[in-house]
Structure 1
Amino acid sequence: MTAQVDTEQIDEGVLMAFVFRAVDEVGATLNAALVVLGDKLGYYRALADGGALTPSELAERTGTAEPYAREWLNAQAAGSFVRYEADTGRYVLPAEHAIALTDESSPAFLPGLFQIALGTVADSDRIVEAARDSAGVGWHEHNSDVHVGCERFFRPSYLAYLVDAWLPAAGIADKLRSGAAVADIGCGHGASTILMAEAFPNSTFVGSDYHAASIDVARERAQAAGVSDRTRFTVEPAQKLGEGAYDVVTTFDALHDMGDPVGAARHVYGALADDGVWMIVEPMAGDRVEDNFNPVGRAYYGFSTLLCTPASLSQEVGLAIGTQAGPAKIREITAAAGFTQFASVAETPFHRVITVRK
């Protein structure tokens, strides 16, 4: 059915401004695939290493066909990801862009974000049907770009901030140096667990996730990192934590995905020692909807609609608090579980770090 619009009230300038803005959105949507393609084919790395390159030079350096390199470069130049030098016909990746597109140790590294976005969009047909049926789509039901991209996006921030900034801010670092029992809930591929195990050899770590394929990867990564002696990875939900068994519990970018975060918080309460600390890292968000009307909030609301909310709805209870729940909602959840102390102790453009205690 065609919407009824009073055309006499239409401002043509406003209409066409929106049309061209929407065209830009189409270009941005396609660019997610182009960034992932450039990452996988080594285009960005070749530009970072080679300076100004022609399409034929880029194709030669990467072992790819020149027509693909040429059109990819033009798309990247049109989107200001690379700079085109018209007098030489060469393309340059600015040094700052090279960090964001090639340096996986930098918290500014972006290809993982594009990869998870591309994987999420690829599964969007399933979300259409789930929304009609009031159903959910589990994390395990998504394609590998979602799982791999998620770790590649979050791990650089963990690498940059977890050991040197977040854990000290949470008042946990000294406890871990002395030797603590730690549970890392919703650990995925184990990036957070392994980073902590590498930094604090006197502590022991149990990483858990309901997604068996992710736990398989975590075990392999722990073996490769040489921390298998102090890490254990299990396929199980938060509800399987032992009573009073842990000095520290951590949850990284996972609480909002849970179907029953209040129930999970109750189990954490029971699993923590009396002087224990639960450190919760969640996507950066404000408490009011309008607080999140910014580029990061926009991206997170997109992931919330297509990935995180469906994941919660696929589980028992299906509370679906959303990716942009905000600290007040997290406080409400932890208080309902019995926690009495709550503090927001650190933040980055993408994360908020919260500690709760009994």
Structure 2
Amino acid sequence: MTALETSPDPTAVEAFGDRMVQMLNEALTGLLVSLGHQAGLFDTLAAIGPATSTQLAEAAGCDERYVREWLGGLTVSGIVRHNPEADTYRLPPEHAAWLTADAGPNNMARTLQFVPMLAEVEQDILTCFRDGGGLSYDRYPRFHAWMDSESRATVDVALLDVVVPLVPGLDERLRAGIDVADVGCGSGHAINVLAQAYPASRLVGYDFSEEAIARARAEATQLGLTNARFEVRDVAELDEPGRFDLVTAFDAIHDQAFPARVLAEVSRALRPGGTFLMVDIKASSSVDDNIENPFAPGLYAFSVFHCLSVSLGLGGVGLGTVWGRQLATSMLHDAGFASVEIREIEDDPFNDFYVCSKA
């Protein structure tokens, strides 16, 4: 190969340089968006309409100088609009649809909190790159609160009206009364919502995080639920043969240290005719197939900074966030599920819904 053939294309060099500048700007703007969500600035600006920095700061209970600089950053990034004559700022309704509480599960300002959260462990992850291993959940002190917020937005909108109907006859069975377990339940909101909607059913949530289980129990107590309970348990050692009619896992299996063992325990825990409903990341097991997936870059990054790391930190296999449909289906069959059907929800671009039953 000649030197001419290995020379970089100047146009491509310039184009990639432009992309890197854009990446820097977008990444830093993402931090501003995260701050705006946590400070209540988006909801406040959407509610009061065009406002000066002083008016917005007073309404949101924030320091004006910081708010003014924040508004400057969001103005030049095209997120808010500035009227120079009146020196007021407004949040277009088309942008509010993605940045305020009214957006529900589509609130990307809430989701962008994961950027600074994961950046907090960057140096620890760098050490893992050099030495191997991973991090414990304790290194992510804000993770459970963030996941609880994300889960609530989806569960409250879709669990009862959209997800439950994915399993034929499940609504009727839950109304009649069945035994349900959620593995890797986190803060337990899904179990509590189901328990409140189906008082004849008996539900339990398992998670190895004492902090998450404490949140789950507190909510159950607040709601006055008598048919929901929560246990601190490593679900890889579930050992509850033939105990449940329905087992669920909401974006939890790919984080497990030993996911194959967890799936086998879930299979053992189901009674004849029981169902495993697994919600997990929508992706392919092939990296090349994921190139056209608009969410894939973020999914791989989330895996490096969290999902992969916490599994390896427990001495696990490091399945990773983007394990994909093909590997998931194969592992479910290996765990003893004869039927694995993959369902999709139109308003959920992130997850696949696996409806599984034993032979």
Is the shorter-chain TM-score for this pair beyond 0.5, marking a shared fold? Answer: yes
Taking structure 2 as the reference length, the TM-score comes to: 0.92
Letter in structure 1 aligned against 2:118: T
Indicate which of 22, 38, 41 corresponds to 2:39.
Answer: 41
Aligned to 2:234: 237
Aligned to 2:353: 353
Letter in structure 2 aligned against 1:90: T
Spell out, residue by residue over 1:191-227, the C-alpha distance to the aligned partner (whole angstroms, 9 max, x if none). Answer: 2111211221211111111111111111112222332
Aligned to 1:152: 149
1:115 pairs with 2:148: no
Letter in structure 1 aligned against 2:354: I
Letter in structure 1 aligned against 2:155: Y
Spell out, residue by residue over 1:320-358, the C-alpha distance to the aligned partner (whole angstroms, 9 max, x if none). Answer: 222122221111111111111100122321111101110
Aligned CA distance change for structure 1 residues 161 and 44 (closer, same or farther; 3 Å): same
Q: Helix, strand or coil: the match of 1:295?
A: coil
What 5-or-longer segments of structure 1 have no aligned partner?
none
Q: Helix, strand or coil: the match of 1:343?
A: strand
Spell out, residue by residue over 1:212-265, the C-alpha distance to the aligned partner (whole angstroms, 9 max, x if none). Answer: 1111111112222332x1111111111224111111000000100011111001
Q: Helix, strand or coil: the match of 2:99?
A: helix
Aligned CA distance change for structure 1 residues 161 and 75 (closer, same or farther; 3 Å): same
Q: Helix, strand or coil: the match of 2:89?
A: strand
Aligned CA distance change for structure 1 residues 236 and 100 (closer, same or farther; 3 Å): same
Letter in structure 2 aligned against 1:140: D
Aligned to 1:218: 216
Letter in structure 2 aligned against 1:75: G
What 5-or-longer segments of structure 2 have no aligned partner?
none
Indicate which of 316, 339, 342 corresponds to 1:341.
Answer: 339
Letter in structure 1 aligned against 2:245: D
Shift of residue 120, structure 1, vs aligned partner: 1.1
Shift of residue 104, structure 1, vs aligned partner: 6.2
1:85 pairs with 2:79: no
Q: Helix, strand or coil: the match of 1:208?
A: strand
Q: Which runs of 4+ in 1 moved over 4 A?
A: 5-8
Shift of residue 181, structure 1, vs aligned partner: 0.7
Q: Retained in 1: the 8 A contact 2:36–2:109?
A: no
Aligned to 2:280: 282
Shift of residue 169, structure 1, vs aligned partner: 0.9
Matched ranges for 1:138-177 at <5 A:
138-144=136-142, 146-171=143-168, 172-177=170-175
Aligned CA distance change for structure 1 residues 176 and 42 (closer, same or farther; 3 Å): same
Q: Helix, strand or coil: the match of 1:106?
A: helix
Matched ranges for 1:19-30 at <5 A:
19-30=17-28
Q: Retained in 2: the 8 A contact 1:116–1:150?
A: no
Shift of residue 15, structure 1, vs aligned partner: 2.3
**How far apart, CA to CA, are the structure 1 residues paired with 2:87 and 2:48?**
15
Q: Retained in 2: the 8 A contact 1:111–1:152?
A: no
Shift of residue 102, structure 1, vs aligned partner: 2.1
Q: Using the aligned pairs only, state the percent identity.
A: 31
**Farther-moved stretch of structure 1 (343-352 vs 99-108):** 99-108
Spell out, residue by residue over 1:82-109, the C-alpha distance to the aligned partner (whole angstroms, 9 max, x if none). Answer: 2223443221112232232222672212
Aligned to 1:321: 319
Spell out, residue by residue over 1:28-77, the C-alpha distance to the aligned partner (whole angstroms, 9 max, x if none). Answer: 22223222221222211210111111112111212322221111011112
**Number of residue pairs the alignment of both structures matches:** 351
Aligned to 2:309: 310
**How far apart, CA to CA, are the structure 1 residues paired with 2:355 and 2:307?**
22
Aligned CA distance change for structure 1 residues 80 and 131 (closer, same or farther; 3 Å): same
**Farther-moved stretch of structure 1 (37-46 vs 286-295):** 286-295
Indicate which of 183, 186, 191 corresponds to 2:184.
Answer: 186
